[in-house]
Amino acid sequence: MTTNRRMTPARCTIVPPYLLERLAALSDESLAHAAESARRSLLVDAPFREVRAGEQPPMAPRTALPPTAGESGGAGTVSAVTGVVRRTIWSAGNRETLPGDIVRREADAPTADPAVTEAFDGLGDTHALLWQVFDRASIDGHDLPLDASVHYGRDYDNAFWDGTRMVFGDGDGQIFTRFTASLSVIGHELAHGVTQYTANLDYVGQSGALNESISDVFGALVEQYTLRQSVEEASWLIGLGLFTDQVEGSALRSMSHPGTAYDDDILGTDPQPAHMRDYIETDDDNGGVHLNSGIPNRAFYLAAQALGGNAWEAAGQIWFDTLTGGGLAHDVEFAAFAEATARAAITRYGDDSAEHRAVVEGWAGVGLG
């Protein structure tokens, strides 16, 4: 039987295709290198982007979840999770063949390569948030080792989760710097792995935008938890540090004020909507998954702002409970996800709690009351 379901693609990229397409069309000779890098990056990503209705996208191999402690597996009983991080970093050597050569393991001393250090530290920071805050042992909940490859491709303008590992390009040097430079990017992409192992939201339309938004939420939380930033102190920017000084902009996306992350002669104006009245109907970008994610992003920010303090505590816990609770349909839309977060808030904090009110009012603030 033919299915129209699009499962989480093997490659979830941080830079949306509409940005790369704009760069690829540049005719300014001074930006010829950036334009050529964008064209190459689009070609690399094309097989994972051009999925038609009724087709399954290319999928990376997925490791079956091991039985939980006390359950019998094929080879015997599995021991309890430990929460111990196990990281391995490879270098692709500017080729497009993965994984590359191992350059750092968990017990190894730091190298002189900043991309290796940033990737290693970022994997550890993401693991720390999951384990120390949400009691989740790695992205699968079963101590899955965390792997990453740096120096992927030649001036590759992106980073992605491919279903099994993180992969980072070095950027073109004119518009984008190396993609390991932003901790929110590392947290964002690894969060796609958490979604893959839990709700596995379809990567199209509103469920795809929620897939992206959830990654933005946890990308921001990784950064905030690592830096111990409160709601008021945090930047709420996704991709801070990715742009060179040639770009008039701060980051790829703003969660607090979607549509304001950049306003640049080269990149144009950030197109993200912040409210349902501005929802974008499009067939591009898998139905606007990087565009309309601004709406649930803003709802999370409003809920966190209303509660104050640290966003990873109440607001983050509610979103985590919603994602991992098993109650989300794979094709969930914004309204149903909003209801699910409200139920999660009631379950954990109570019907009359400030947390429940903050969640409801957050969604109301984006037109989903």
Q: Which amino acid is at 185?
A: V
Report the distance separating Cα 216 and Cα 214, nearest Å.
5
Length reported for the chain:
369
Q: Is residue 189 annotated as a catalytic residue, yes or no? A: yes
- Whether 188 is a known active-site residue: answer no
- Catalogue the E-assigned strands of the chain: 12-13, 72-73, 76-77, 87-91, 101-105, 146-150, 159-161, 166-168, 237-238, 253-254, 263-264, 268-269
Which of 151, 192, 290, 356 is an active site residue?
290
346: part of which helix (H) or strand (E)?
Answer: helix 334-349
For 6-36, letters b (16+ CB in 10 Å) and e give: bbbbbbbbbbbbbbbeebbebeeeebeebbb
Total Cβ atoms within 10 A of residue 246: 14
288's tokens: 């606007």
Q: Measuring CA to CA, how many Å separate 125 from each of 103, 116, 228?
A: 19, 14, 12
Candidate list 189, 212, 223, 355, residue with the active-site label: 189
- Catalytic residue numbers, as ranges: 189, 290
